[in-house]
A and B are shown apart, each in its own frame.
Chain A
């Protein structure tokens, strides 16, 4: 009885976003048959979307072992060999919902055996503790459980100077609402970030977003395709911010719009924008939050640069766009709000261009602005300078107000 009921529930799924994940990943995630969880502890299936770096494998194993039994892994779009069960993988162009549901049903009924631990379930260092709850010993500092570091000496707090203990931990690379692939070592005081260091850089922008732009290098491409790719990319970025401010339903709406834009459907963004504004999306982003200076904005290029008020866009010089009276939209404030408004404006503008010239073609090799800054130089600025002093929730908003290309450029691996 319990099993029959449980088998009909939406599949609780934790998604580990890899490199070059399938174009349909957004579409999958908004399916009503799927329940994307915020933590592996709530999921039954670990979905690995795309390829995972070798250095991320250990993180993936740790997440895998956090899933409660019964559990299974599903690879989607990763070229896993034949050693992986047919029921647990799908090619990137497949729609895996049916396979996922089948896997989940078998998992619940016991037909598919639950996966065992991948890592040994033992402490990382020998036990050195005492006490009822096993955390330590005696004396002023308490114990040293498992030979772990004791708290750092206190540092003055950034906000009011009260020097308290700090806490250092690694975050990423598969955290929800976190730039895929990025691993940061963050030092907290309470939930305020004191310092951050890049352990692993984020994944570069996905192939799916680049397809029309790459194609343009060697063949004539429809303007509509290019602008649709831009609108879809921006909508996905907007969806992430919507989720972060506690509007998951609107976020799913943005994801659905992005998937429909990719499927060449005609959509309107204005209703979403209006609903988001009515829900207080702008109020949720504090004015001035995540403001970057002019130099950084120029170096980042792309939407971040235009959000700072610089009307620089490769499309301005393109004859086809000139014929359509294209002028770049800009904002002035260069903060999270401005970048969000820029995404909305550019997505709306892109769709307006599509409807103004549905059949226009862009010649091979023409210079067209990508949704992010494709040709910008390396940035002499670190993400790790942007985060200290921010609360955790604000830091996430700031991180997600940049596209993955900008993040990649701001978070290279620091030289040891």
Chain B
């Protein structure tokens, strides 16, 4: 594929998957509430139009540069995450030798961007959301780094394409069974959904997004979906063999696997209750992080 085709495919993939998640969200909640869904396919578009129609308001003395930049940066980070992943053996937008390290940087910068979004609006509930997010986001990021290092071990490389190629015989999800579940938690945390929604939850009136309206809000909401897509794409590639698969062409396999991971993520976000931030911190530091150590040791022993 030429770079132009790849770029178009990349944009279409991000937009399409964001729409897919929004549709899934609608269907899942309708099913759980026991009512018919309301225009399930078009509803996300209607909502987009509503946000575009609204004025983008200002607060008193916000840090306007950071406030407007944060949604765009968040979406951009998600975009670079997806760009790391090859659609097929020969077509990858960003063929980075240290792809996994860049993904780590994406996670770290996401925490910064979300904090900035909450901080720069100059509003107390947004700031509480921002602080909470940092407290939870940083340790979850550590977990995902251990998980990804474990996945890089059998491939003997930090590049995403090589990690995919190393799964020709056996997918990492079977070789390293703890990896995918731990990585899915990262997905919920990076896009703050369901049990990990400490940044934008309703108990702090929308948190970091409490003061934003209009087009910037649309970008912010899209960026959350795009980040979830990025996590699912990386998960599909690192644990489920990415484009590898019989009969169908590679890109189709990647899309199918990503869609399946997204279904799991949406399900998890709707099915699990949120515990208080301090208890979540305890859970992460005392249970999940040690679990990721065990996982890394296990992967290391296997790789020997």
Contact = CB atoms under 8 A, between A and B. Distances in A.
Say whether A and B bind each other: yes
Given A39-B211, A284-B273, A9 B46 contact: yes
B270 A249 contact: yes
Contact of B202 (A10, A133, A176): A176
Contacts of B214: 68
Interface residues of A, number: 62
B195 interface: yes
A250 interface: yes
Interface in B266-295: 270-279
B54 A135 contact: no
B57 interface: yes
A365 interface: no
Contact of B274 (A68, A246, A276): A246
A125 to B, nearest CB: 12
B61 A145 contact: yes
Interface stretch (B26-34, B102-110, B154-162, B172-180): B26-34
Interface of A: 2-3, 5-6, 8-10, 12, 30, 32-33, 35, 37-39, 41-42, 44, 66, 68-70, 108, 123, 133-135, 145, 167, 169, 175-177, 188, 190-191, 243-250, 252-253, 256, 275-276, 278-281, 283-284, 286, 391-394, 396-397
A177 B202 CA distance: 8
Contact of B43 (A9, A169, A188, A280): A9
22 contacts: A9-B50, A32-B38, A35-B47, A37-B206, A42-B209, A68-B214, A70-B53, A176-B203, A191-B128, A246-B195, A246-B197, A246-B272, A248-B202, A256-B33, A275-B32, A280-B195, A280-B272, A286-B275, A286-B276, A286-B279, A392-B204, A393-B276
Contacts of B63: 133
A373 to B, nearest CB: 27
B53 A3 contact: yes
Contact of A249 (B33, B39, B124, B197): B33
Interface residues of B, number: 57
A191 B126 CA distance: 11
Given A68-B213, A256-B33, A392-B128, A38 B206 contact: yes
A246 to B, nearest CB: 4
A70 B53 CA distance: 8
Interface in B165-223: 194-195, 197, 201-206, 209-214, 217
B127 to A, nearest CB: 9
Contacts of B45: 5
Nearest to A167: B124
Residue among B56, B131, B213 with the highest chain A CB neighbour number at 10 A: B213
Given A8-B46, A246-B195, A69 B61 contact: no
A32 B35 contact: yes
A191 B207 CA distance: 12
B53 A396 contact: no
Nearest to B39: A8
The 7 closest A-B pairs by CB, nearest first: A246-B274, A9-B46, A5-B49, A6-B49, A32-B38, A284-B273, A38-B202
A317 B32 CA distance: 41
A391 B54 contact: no
A279 B267 CA distance: 11
A391 B45 CA distance: 37
A305 B259 CA distance: 50
B131 A191 contact: yes
Contacts of B278: 391
Contacts of B29: 248-249, 252
Contacts of A253: 32-34
A244 B203 contact: yes
B33 A134 contact: no
B44 to A, nearest CB: 10
Contacts of B38: 10, 32-33
A246 B201 contact: yes
A123 B203 contact: no
A245 B49 contact: no
Contact of A6 (B53, B56, B197, B210): B53
A71 B60 CA distance: 20
Given A6-B49, A8-B42, A393-B276, A69 B205 contact: no
Contact of A39 (B32, B43, B210): B210
B7 interface: no
Given A252-B33, A396-B203, A44 B39 contact: no
Nearest to B64: A133
Contacts of A33: 38
A9 B218 CA distance: 14
A6 B201 CA distance: 24
Residue among B49, B128, B276 with the highest chain A CB neighbour number at 10 A: B276
A42 B43 CA distance: 16
Given A190-B131, A191-B128, A283-B273, A41 B210 contact: yes
Nearest to A243: B202
B46 A6 contact: yes
Contacts of A123: 60
B257 interface: no
Contact of B206 (A9, A42, A244): A42
B52 A2 contact: yes
Given A177-B202, A283-B273, 17 more contacts: A5-B45, A8-B46, A12-B50, A44-B54, A68-B213, A134-B61, A176-B202, A188-B124, A191-B277, A248-B29, A253-B34, A279-B271, A280-B195, A284-B273, A284-B275, A391-B278, A394-B276
